[in-house]
Amino acid sequence: MAAQLAQQKAKYAELIVRAGLNLQPGQRLQIAGSAIAGVDPHLAPFVRLIAAAAYRAGALLVDVIWDDPRLLPIRLREAAPETLGQHSDWPIAARQEFLDKGGAFLGILAGDPDLLSGIDPKLVSAVVNPLLEAVRPVTARIEANAANWCVASAPIPSWAAKVFPSLPPAKREGRLWEVILQLCRADQPDPVALWLSLGKDLASRAAHLNARQYSSLTFKGPGTDLTVGLPPRHVWLGGQNRAKNGVVFLPNIPTEEVYTLPHRSRVDGSVQSTKPLNLFGSTIEGFRLVFRDGKVTEFAARKGEAHLRELIETHEGASRLGEVALVPASSPISKLGIVLWDVLFDENAASHLALGGAYRDSLKGGGEISEEEFAEAGGNASAVHVDFMIGSSEVDVDGVTAQGTLDPIMRKGEWAFNM
């Protein structure tokens, strides 16, 4: 079993390099945790597998930005509150350096969902908000596909403990590895070929929706009655992307979604979350949002409401939507029936929305226009982008045509149109 796991981890590393990044011979690769975090030191053994795969694929240089997430709660508890806005410039310069040199970017998400539990959300914001603002030029370049990039994930003990609290501690991390490897199809004979095929399926579904150019979507289910306006020239995306360097890549492994641009001022009604959310090391559960003219006008959460308030009230643009995504309730992650407390997995278990910034490429020509023009076209701007799940087997989705008629898109959480 241990040998099988080791073999699958190596296959997963290859998969990330070959199918996710599609790393080119002679290309640099930078590995981090996200745009604002480094890789958790616990993941060193897995990063070594990725580095080996990257060098075998001809990488010019593999560079890793590490970060110990557990230094943050120490800082929040021990440092003088007025110093919390201080941050180093070099982690941002490091990312710019690699983008300037045409490097590919890999983010390995892994977080303790309870890292900052019990800490005043205002203190968290004092550290995180300036950092998110400072890194915006970098995230903009990555989201504009300046180079091929990918986001993947690997277990750390605190995260595994949150997902499998009832397993014996020594079994949790191994179990989370098994689940991740399975969801990423690293247990299959040829996962690279499989992902190329899955990517094509998602692209066809996106192409079908693009051809329809619905003026809005409606979501109906328990606690949910929401209309999400779609701007003219919105683009549905899914599966593979093409970077400006011409490289075709898979930005997320796993991915099960197709997504597009919601209109920043045409969202109305109420929506009930169907899965909990991990937000900067704190959890938010059982929440409900009411939108009017695109803006959140009311919100409530069974747990973590203060964190939800901090998000919505302190970040410009976090009270409007930046993404609407469709995922069938029968997706492999959803069928697993557990909350994985990691956006990469949970967002691929259910249809979802995101509060915050929109992707430029979800509007036709969105990469070539100014911020003002993008906003005018309906695109929201923000330093944050927080996905939250609203889909389930009880939710129906319809597309509203230009003529005002309704086309079924999902029924009971499953695709309701043929291609």
Closest CA to 84 of 116, 37, 57, 124: 124
Please identify, using beta-carbon distances, which residue of 170 and 419 lies nearer to a second copy: 170
Instruction: Report H helices in 225-354.
Output: 305-314, 332-336, 343-346
Q: Smallest distance from the beta carbon of 55 to a second copy, in angstroms?
A: 4
Least Å distance, CB 43 to a second copy, is 8
Nearer to a second copy, 102 or 332 (CB): 102
Q: How far is the CB of 83 from a second copy (least distance, A)?
A: 5
Minimum Å gap between C-beta 249 and a second copy is 22
Residue closer to a second copy by CB (options 47, 152) is 47
Cis peptide before 254 (omega within 30 of 0): yes
CB of 116 to a second copy, least distance (A): 15
What would the two tokens of residue 278 be?
A: 């991990």
CB of 151 to a second copy, least distance (A): 20
| Between 78 and 372, CB nearer to a second copy | 78
Backbone angles phi, psi at 10, to 5 degrees: -65, -40
Q: Which residues bind a second copy (CB under 8 A)?
A: 28, 38, 41-42, 44, 47-48, 51-52, 55-56, 58-64, 66-68, 70-71, 74-75, 78-80, 83, 86-90, 93-94, 97-98
d(CA 140, CA 356): 13
CB-based contacts of 175: which residues, under 8 Å, 6+ apart?
A: 160, 164, 167
Output DSSP code: residue 83. G
Buried b (16+ CB within 10 A) or exposed e, 9-41: bbbbbbbbbbbbbbbbeebbbbbbbbbbbbbbe
Q: Is 149 within 8 Å of 106 (Cβ atoms)?
A: yes
Q: Which is nearer to a second copy, 97 or 361 (CB)?
A: 97
The nearer residue to a second copy, 52 or 369, going by C-beta atoms, is 52
Beta bridge partners of 109: 153
Locate 209 and state its tokens: 């929706």
If the CB atoms of residues 52 and 416 are measured against a second copy, the closer one turns out to be 52
> With respect to a second copy, which residue has the nearer C-beta, 98 or 291?
98
Which residue do the tokens 């007025």 mark? Answer: 82
Nearest distance, CB of residue 107 and a second copy, angstroms: 16
- From CA 232, how far away is CA 358, in angstroms rounded? 15
Least Å distance, CB 100 to a second copy, is 10
Retrieve residue 104's tokens: 């590919």
Nearest partner of 260 among 210, 226, 294, judged by Cα: 210
